[in-house]
Amino acid sequence: MKVVVLVKQVPDTETSIKLGDKSINEAGIKWIISPYDEFAIEEGIKIREKNGGEVIAVTVGPDRAQEVLRTAYAMGVDNAIHIKVDSYNTFDTAYTSELLASFISSISPDLVISGRQSIDTDSSQVGVQVAERLGWGHVSLALKLELNGTSAKVTREIEGGTAIVESSLPLVVTAQKGLNEPRYPSLKGIMTAKKKPITTKLPADLGNPEAKVEVTSMEPPPARIPGRKLDAADADGFAQTLVKALREEAKVI
């Protein structure tokens, strides 16, 4: 069983983000692996432990993105691939998915697992787009994954409950919290990971696709308008005061 896990390097959630003209200011940022991707890695390793085979971690980004591949090695993956893009635009999911799909098609895995979303852009698009480009089925928000030969049964989260989806392999699955409990890298694993090879691929090796999205500027969201407390003697008074404020001040009715 050959499993590819998609991983992404993102800023730590506790990092104070400062904006430049067209991107964030990376000075002083602590970079981590996107937390949902840890569930993808763990599931890949569990599948290998049960069925044999190999787990290959893949990331797209500049040189610093290799750090998440070291983390994946420390957790237990077998191989790591870095698709090196120096001017990586994290918002360009179409470009990212095109690079990933081109690499994945070249190695013909049985299964691709990614996190349900990255915690920086929250687009939830890359895994689904990879599946579409490959012509594979995909199941999102997986809470349980069972493999049986060339088929898979996935329990996925839906609004108000869960649903069970069955599909043939190859398949793309996006991992939701609850799929498993990611293991902590051991000290031995961390030290060993520093010496393991990372294979670098360039866009030119993968069809040299063109970027699809350009960021022209970035700015923080507007400050939140402070709330206002309405005073009235009874429910009718509250209703009249609210309607007056919506009509005369907010001008929405």
What pLDDT does 44 receive? 97
Q: Which two tokens stand for residue 74?
A: 């420390």
What pLDDT does 180 receive? 97
* Rounded Cα–Cα distance for residues 70 and 198 (Å): 9
* Rounded Cα–Cα distance for residues 6 and 210 (Å): 21
* Rounded Cα–Cα distance for residues 198 and 45 (Å): 18
Q: Answer whether 253's CB lies under 8 Å from 246's CB.
A: yes
Q: Which residue has the tokens 């893949």?
A: 58
What pLDDT does 29 receive? 87
Question: Radius of gyration (Cα) for the chain, nearest Å?
Answer: 22
Q: Which of left, alpha, beta for 90 (phi over 0: left; psi -120 to 50: alpha)?
A: alpha
pTM: 0.85
Print burial letters for 196-228: b (CB count within 10 Å at least 16), e (below 16): eebeebebeebeeeeeeeeeeeeeeeeeeeeee
The string of pLDDT tens digits covering residues 47-79 is: 999 999 999 999 999 999 999 999 999 999 999
Which residues of the chain are modeled with pLDDT < 70? none
